[in-house]
Structure 1
Amino acid sequence: MRFALLGSGSAGNGLVAQAGNTKVLLDCGFSLRETTFRLARLNLEPHHLAGILLTHEHEDHARGAFRLAADFRLPLFLTHGTFMMLGDTPTDIDIRIINSHDAFAIDDMEIHPYPVPHDAREPVQYVLSDGMRRLGVLTDTGTSTPHIESMLSGCHALVLECNHDLDLLMNNRRYPHSLKQRISGAYGHLDNATAAELLAKLDTRSLQHIIAAHLSKKNNRPELARAALRSALDCEEKWIKIASQTEGVDWLDIN
């Protein structure tokens, strides 16, 4: 099994995972042209994908989903709430409505969605598996829950939101109070310290890769995210990878 990130941040998100011969795209927050370009950096083309998974309707996660699904005849998997919030759907798209608690398969890939608290209609995140190894993904949640921790415990790789440093956010004079409260609230985004607290609660004995994702350009710094996660894992900081907005993360194998 392996995975890579096309990019991560408020300007667009996308992750590709492969199990056996099956490749799926988790979120499509870039235009069709940009998505195709970023896939090509990974030696992929859109028609190599077996489907698109969406976490929620926000533009930085769903911007290019309809166009990519329509142009390359890819099934699009999403919750009913996300589907309703995306508005009019082109008639030529293969829409697959999922339950936020029910696992399903796309060829060789096992998909385990789980609900998260975020300011969207029916948001989910995912654990992806080949039956032996598990990749856990958690971004766009304001807080952790026992169910989230149960889903992510024991994963072989984790993509974990470290959206902001709370002090940097609160001292950002360009952000109004209401925006600061939304970002830091229970339905907003994980800050570095909260992400580290969540990580410390997980069984990480099988963990091979940890990726800090969805970092705010204005309210966080890579070294702060790394230091926070290092405190939970007691590892070298260089072992913790940062998913950038422009470069993402290249292919990583899960053995």
Structure 2
Amino acid sequence: MRFTSLGSGSEGNALVVEVSEGASTTRVLLDCGFSVRELQRRLLRAGLDFSDLDALIVTHEHTDHVGSALTLARKARLPVFMSWGTALACGADDGSIDLRILWAGDPLAIGDIEIHPYTVPHDAREPLQFVFSDGDARLGVLTDTGCPTPHIVEMLGGADALVLECNHDREMLAASRYPASLKRRIAGDLGHLANDAAAHLLAQIDRSRMRHLIAAHLSQQNNTPELAKAALAQVVGAAAGDIVAATQADGFDWRTL
């Protein structure tokens, strides 16, 4: 199994997960927060095209995640997997796409990829996050949540790789020019993980198999890669330079498990 981010942040998110078994390869796109043209450009950078994708999975209806997902689904004739609440919120239930409904706690298989949806506290209709597996290695993804929960800790435990939200630094957010209402939303229990909250979550999960740790969904206004990486590095006893931070412009390169 290998995975790459095409971009991560408040301006757009997309992640590709790929599993190869013998002569067959399965690829799924997690979120599509970019225009179709921009997504194509980013896929080409990763050596891929629309035709290489087998399915699209959407975490929730916020624009930086759903973006052009429905347009892409129609253009590339891709099945789209999301919760019923997300489908209602983004208008995916109009019959124009091949919609497949996901239920938290009900694993499914797309080709050779095992997918485990799980619930998170976030201010969306019915948000889900995911753990991907090829039967041996596990990739945990958590990009939008307001606070750690025991269920999240359980779902991410034992992952070989973790893409973990480090959205903001609390002091930078407090000092920013954002309206007070937006600051409360971001920092609230249904908003986004601060660096210290992400580190607290990381400290609780079973990291015995972890080989890749990536800080993701960083705010360009209220965080820095250095602060995010330092927070996670302190938990795992590594140097900050050993932690990867996904960027809005480039995401991160292919990682193999």
Scaled by the length of structure 1, the TM-score of the pair is: 0.97
Q: CA deviation at 1:90?
A: 5.7
Which residue of structure 2 lines up, in the alignment, with residue 36 of structure 1? 40
Aligned partner of 1:223 among 218, 226, 237:
226
- Distance in 2 separating the partners of 1:147 and 1:205: 18
Which residue of structure 2 lines up, in the alignment, with residue 13 of structure 1? 13
Asked if 1:156 is matched to 2:168, the reply is no
The answer to whether the 8 Å contact 1:212/1:225 transfers is yes
Q: Which runs of 4+ in 1 moved over 4 A?
A: none
Counterpart of 1:219 in 2: which secondary structure? coil
Aligned partner of 2:98 among 94, 109, 125:
94
Asked if 1:212 is matched to 2:215, the reply is yes
Paired residue type of 1:245 = Q
Identity %: 54
Q: CA deviation at 1:91?
A: 3.5
The answer to whether the 8 Å contact 1:111/1:129 transfers is yes
Unmatched tracts of structure 2, length 5 or more: none
The answer to whether the 8 Å contact 2:10/2:219 transfers is yes
- Distance in 2 separating the partners of 1:201 and 1:215: 21
- Distance in 1 separating the partners of 2:107 and 2:95: 26
Which residue of structure 1 lines up, in the alignment, with residue 173 of structure 2? 169
Pairwise CA RMSD: 0.9
Which residue of structure 1 lines up, in the alignment, with residue 120 of structure 2? 116
Q: CA deviation at 1:205?
A: 1.5
Q: CA deviation at 1:100?
A: 1.5
Aligned partner of 2:86 among 60, 71, 82:
82
Unmatched tracts of structure 1, length 5 or more: none
Out of 230-239 and 85-94, give the one that drifted further.
85-94
The answer to whether the 8 Å contact 1:156/1:206 transfers is yes
Q: CA deviation at 1:64?
A: 1.1
Render the CA deviation track for 1:68-112: whole Å, top value 9, x for unaligned.
111111000000000000026564410001112210000100000
